[in-house]
Structure 1
Amino acid sequence: MKKIKKRKRYRLKRPAVVVSGVICAVCAVAFAGKAVSGVAEQKKQAQAAYYEAYYEEEADDRPLVCIDAGHGGSDCGADYAGAYEKDETLLIARLVKRHLESVGVKVLMTRDADTYLGLDERVEICNNASCDVLVSIHRNLYEDDPSINGVETWIHHELPEDDVFLAEAITTRLDAIAGIKSRGVKGGSMTDSEEDYRLNLNTRCVSCLVELGFMSNANDNRLITEKPEETASAISDGIMEYLNSRK
């Protein structure tokens, strides 16, 4: 079933006051009552405080972008040569958030720590906040042939116009700014062209899943190790190109 998406007009404002103070205050209240044992539980409660603070903010007419750092916690994602996908996606997601907030866009991250979230939880976070755009960040791996490289971007299999625009804007910017080739914008998933990734299927907003190159390719890895700022800037610029097209 095709997702129903409403096309909106956005007005970008100057950067809003960062809500970190609110987040810290909520966290302090949450932890003051009793000591919480275990690092994992502390991270989980901090994450919950982050969402609570975000949902309590006053509504405004700025677009709200959800940045999803793939995997996390016990789910490491792909791993290669001592690197874990979950760490690299979080690194880039945080930088994308910073870039977008610097130009006045509201950003909600599904996770901002090394915590596990199921796919349905990620969908719920995005839908409950009525996000306008979702970008899920991942990395690829193909150990059989380390020469395979490039960015793949996945969208709903019916190729909605807005999703195509968003995905193409991001991949074009990644090529121009970070110097990584595009393997194309694709519908469905790697296993089935008509079977969508959960976030593209069930979120109620424009969405795409970006595979930021192959962990098994040395050149692609420079996106993370040598060009993280350029990579994040390219993704955020692609998102801004989409948002500005809908003004």
Structure 2
Amino acid sequence: MKNLLKIISVVALSILLSFSLSKEKKVVVIDAGHGGNDLGANRNGISEKEIVLNIAKKIKALNQNQNLEIILTRDDDSYPSLAQRTEKINELKPDYAISLHVNNSPRQSTEMKGFEVFFQDNEASKNLANKFSEKFKDSKVKTANLHILRESKTPTVLLELGFINNPDERDYLASEKGQTETAEKILSVINGH
């Protein structure tokens, strides 16, 4: 009986080890939009390029999941071109890519607000967009003919995290608290998808 229990224990342990070793690591590319001389949207000394870079770096730093690798298209104030960003995504062949941006109303209205998710015209990208929409309440989900969505060969979404010309959203996204909370929400969607 003891030998049978030992054999069962060894077999069970072997199965568990082989399962954990065979589980592939998920790879997600985070693209912090703009950078370098391209400030992106900016108001009152606050620029989109800084906000999205800070959030991208926080997502990577907060990641505690051993089975998730976060790769950034930029981790400093550089400006990889749109072609370089999509080339990197296509070379890495991640599970999916997320491009971070901050919106700016063309009408310069301070009343425009909210989170928007743009996705490629495919089911995988749409499913990912819907997950973000569930996490960020009152968000809009739509397709768009944007370079990173058009040229990426992996499911990709572009997140507009809020409006820089809305003082409340700008102050929130520029704050340590707002950046950390936004990074945590994005990471929770990544871990749950």
TM range (shorter): 0.7 to 0.9
- Structure 1 regions of 5+ residues with no counterpart? 1-11, 15-59, 176-180, 189-195, 243-247
Q: 1:187 aligned to 140, 143, 147, which one?
A: 143
**Other-structure match for 1:154:** 118
Matched, 1:138 2:85: no
Cα distance in structure 1, aligned partners of 2:123 and 2:191: 16
Report the aligned-residue RMSD.
Answer: 1.9
- The separation in 1 between residues aligned to 2:78 and 2:47, in whole angstroms, is 14
Conserved 8 A contact 1:169-1:239: no
Partner in structure 2 of residue 125 of structure 1: 88
For residues 166 and 78 of structure 1, do their structure 2 counterparts lie closer, same or farther at Cα, with a shift above 3 Å needed?
same
Deviation, structure 1 residue 169: 1.1
Structure 1 match to 2:78: 115
Partner of 1:102, secondary structure, is: coil
Corresponding letter in the other structure for 1:146: T
> Within the alignment, does 1:232 sit opposite 2:183 as a pair?
yes
Question: 4+ residue stretches of structure 1 with deviation over 4 A?
Answer: none
Task: Please identify the structure whose Cα radius of gyration is greater.
Answer: 2
Counterpart in 1 of 2:4?
none
- Aligned length, in residue pairs: 170
Paired residues of 2:30 and 2:72 also in contact (CA < 8 A)? yes
Q: Deviations over 1:93-119 (max 9, x none)?
A: 1111123x3112111100000001100
Superposed displacement of residue 131, structure 1 = 1.1
1:93 to 1:13, Cα distance in 2 relative to 1, 3 A: farther
Identical columns (%): 30
Matched residue, 2:13: none
Aligned match of 1:102: 64
Match of 2:150, SS state, is helix
Deviation at 1:13, TM superposition (A): 6.9
Partner secondary structure for residue 212 of structure 1: strand
Deviation at 1:164, TM superposition (A): 1.3
